[in-house]
Amino acid sequence: MEAKPCPFCGHVGVSVIEASTFRWRVAQCNGCGAQCGEVRVQTMGEGNREEWERAVIAEAIAVWNTRP
């Protein structure tokens, strides 16, 4: 999934980084640092750490793309 440009500075680069704790991620503009809401990383159940990280990155970008 590709991230939309930042609504504040227009930069097209977005990184998904650790948020308030290791269980949360947030998409952040590489230009101005604007962020979207936090999304939680799955830490138990089916799958493995790599799968969970890929899923949370996709979810964080989806949240970034649907921000108001």
Tally the domains of the chain: 1
Residue 39 forms beta bridges with which residues? 25
| 27 within some domain | yes
pLDDT of the residue at 1: 80
| 3 within some domain | no
Residue 38 belongs to domain spanning: 14-65
| 33 within some domain | yes
| 2 within some domain | no
| 41 within some domain | yes
pLDDT of the residue at 39: 96
| 39 within some domain | yes
| 7 within some domain | no
Answer yes or no: is pLDDT of 67 > 90: no
Per-residue pLDDT reduced to its tens digit, 12-52 = 999 999 998 889 999 999 999 999 999 999 988 899 999 99
Q: What amino acid is encoded at 60 in this protein?
A: A
Nearest to 40, CA basis, from 22, 64, 61: 22
